[in-house]
Amino acid sequence: MPPRLSSPPDPNNPEYQLLRDRINYAVHVALFLCVNMVLLFLEQFWRVQWPWRGWLTLVWAIGLVAHTVWVFWLTKYEGT
C-alpha cells in the first residue's frame, strides 16, 4: 500500500515533511543501487577495471549511511 497523507499536502505539515524525507531517502537508495549495478555490469561486459568505482561506491555508501542516520534517528518533526 503506498504511503498516504491524512490531509492535503502542506510543506509546513510535519507528516508531509516526514513523508517527503523518507521518499527522498528511498530515491537515494534506488539511485545508489542502480548506478552501482550498471557500473558493475559495464565493467564485466567490457572486461575493464575501473579502480575509481570502488572509491565511488565507498564514498557514496558513507553518504547513504549518513542520510540513513539523519532521516531515521536525528530528524525530529513537531507533531509526529
pLDDT of residue 2: 77
pLDDT at 78: 85
pLDDT for 4 equals 81
pLDDT in tens, 8-53: 889 999 999 999 999 999 999 999 999 999 999 999 999 999 999 9
Helix, strand, coil percent content, the chain, rounded in steps of 5: 70, 0, 30
Residue 49: half-sphere exposure toward Cβ, Cα within 13 Å: 1
Given a cut of 70, is residue 80 above it in pLDDT?
Answer: no
List all residues 6 or more positions away from 21 whose beta carbon is below 8 Å from its beta carbon: 71, 75
The domains of the chain are located at 20-74
pTM over 0.85: yes
Would you state the pLDDT for residue 79? 75
